[in-house]
């Protein structure tokens, strides 16, 4: 069970996020509040913080992740790609950003991804965040020999959703043998040795949209 704290400035926004999150039976709401101070005491009970980014004050992220101990992963909800400028992302073990009109499925997938230590979000919203993590970019760039093809990106996206080769073949209308070929090619292009690593490196490069 993934325990989530919800931060949003209004009761309506908190209720909306709570309703979306509760669609996934593997996610439990550990608490909610309008600000950091209202949820800070509940950190030990949380794996992920889902926060409407515009509700945070300057220095909020630094305060959150300078607190010591094991910190929850952070998922921001915002339509502003420039919100990354306010995030001290060097200290985050896992993070992501989703749009305000995120669907229940997308929100749950993003929560699960960052809980697993990945980066989640759309390329447009992730770009400023990635630009602030030179170490992550260097790691991904060093292992990427060639860009992925459009079909390989589709396959990688489905890998990130946990689909098996047979399921990917059914979704894309191709043979399972072709899927295996694409997966092997993805490993080679990303410098990955298994699915989890391929998903992680793909997320760092912005190939995965959750």
The predicted-structure confidence for 94-152, as pLDDT tens digits, reads as follows: 778 888 888 898 899 889 888 887 777 776 676 655 554 444 433 433 434 457 787 88
Q: Average the pLDDT over 58-86 and give the result.
A: 65
Does residue 25 lie in a domain region? yes
pLDDT at residue 124, as a whole number:
67
Does residue 189 lie in a domain region? yes
pLDDT at residue 142, as a whole number:
42
For residues 175 and 160, membership in a common domain is answered with yes
Does residue 210 lie in a domain region? no
For residues 146 and 178, membership in a common domain is answered with yes
Rounded to whole angstroms, the Cα distance separating 206 from 148 reads 11
pLDDT at residue 138, as a whole number:
38
Residue 21 pLDDT level (bands cut at 50, 70, 90): very high
Rounded to whole angstroms, the Cα distance separating 106 from 91 reads 25
pTM, 2 dp: 0.60
For residues 123 and 156, membership in a common domain is answered with no
For residues 122 and 193, membership in a common domain is answered with no
Residue 40 pLDDT level (bands cut at 50, 70, 90): confident
Q: Which residues of 175-195 are buried (b: 16+ CB within 10 A; e: fewer)?
A: eeeebeebbebbbebbebeeb
Residue 36 pLDDT level (bands cut at 50, 70, 90): confident
* φ, ψ for residue 47, nearest 5 deg: -100, -30
Asked which of 132, 163, 178 is the last residue of a domain, the reply is 132
Q: Which residue's structure tokens are 């306010």? A: 86
Number of domains present in the structure of the chain: 2
For residues 55 and 105, membership in a common domain is answered with yes
């Amino acid at each position: 069970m993934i325990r989530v704290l919800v931060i949003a400035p209004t009761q309506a926004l908190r209720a909306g996020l709570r309703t979306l999150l509760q669609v996934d039976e593997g996610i439990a709401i550990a608490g909610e509040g309008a600000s950091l101070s209202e949820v800070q005491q509940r950190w030990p009970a949380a794996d992920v913080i889902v926060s409407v980014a515009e509700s945070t004050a300057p220095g909020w992220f630094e305060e959150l992740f300078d607190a010591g101990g094991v910190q929850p992963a952070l998922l921001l909800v915002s339509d502003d790609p420039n919100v990354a400028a306010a995030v001290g992302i060097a200290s985050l073990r896992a993070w992501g950003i989703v749009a305000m009109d995120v669907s229940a499925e997308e929100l749950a997938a993003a929560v699960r991804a960052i809980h697993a230590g990945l980066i989640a979000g759309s390329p447009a919203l992730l770009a400023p965040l990635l630009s602030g993590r030179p170490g992550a970019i260097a790691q991904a760039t060093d292992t990427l020999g060639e860009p992925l093809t459009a079909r390989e990106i589709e396959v990688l996206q489905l890998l990130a959703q946990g689909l098996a080769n047979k399921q990917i073949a059914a979704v894309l209308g191709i043979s399972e043998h072709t899927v295996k070929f694409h997966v092997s090619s993805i490993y080679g292009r990303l410098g990955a040795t298994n699915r989890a690593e391929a998903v992680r490196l793909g997320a760092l490069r912005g190939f995965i949209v959750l």
